[in-house]
């Protein structure tokens, strides 16, 4: 099981990136891996209303901050599609679909989504 940290492009002393791009982390991951998104980082800026398609059994973790009795989700995904029998666990993340009459989460072909502290926002 591997962990992938998704965040801004920070280079270390040797010029190597210390975080992953979200798409690259999805591509490199295998069943059972965890993709963690740094608190406050928006890896989906520029998603152009396209849902992210996942075909692997992975966990995607965001972060939640508690401020003055409010639950603040610091990471948002613009829609997700899980298919091909994958089981995806979503933790501490907001799924928001900004397109009219679109699903924030779509589950197809014998797949499963497990949601732990997930906030869904959709438009009618």
Confidence category of residue 124, pLDDT binned at 50, 70, 90: low
Mean pLDDT for the stretch of residues 56-84 = 94
Residue 108: count of CB within 10 angstroms of its CB: 13
Average confidence (pLDDT) over 114-122:
93
The pLDDT score that the predictor gives to residue 46 is: 57
Worst-scoring range by mean pLDDT, 5-9, 39-43, 87-91, 97-101? Answer: 97-101
- Angle value at C-alpha 43, between 106 and 105, nearest 5 degrees: 10
- Mind listing the pLDDT tens digit for each residue in 83-104? 999 999 999 999 988 777 788 9
SS3 83: coil
75 within 8 A of 42, measured Cβ to Cβ: yes
């Amino acid at each position: 099981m591997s962990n992938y940290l998704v965040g801004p492009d920070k280079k270390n002393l040797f010029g190597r990136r210390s975080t992953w791009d979200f798409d690259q982390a999805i591509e490199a991951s295998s069943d059972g891996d965890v993709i963690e998104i740094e608190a406050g980082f928006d890896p989906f800026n520029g998603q152009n209303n396209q849902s992210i398609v996942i075909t692997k059994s992975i966990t995607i973790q965001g972060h939640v901050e508690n401020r003055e009795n409010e639950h603040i989700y610091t990471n948002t995904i613009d829609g997700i599609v899980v298919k091909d029998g994958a089981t995806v666990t979503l933790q501490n993340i907001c799924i928001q679909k900004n397109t009219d009459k679109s699903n924030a989460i779509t589950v197809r072909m014998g797949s499963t989504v497990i949601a732990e502290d997930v906030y869904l926002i959709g438009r009618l």
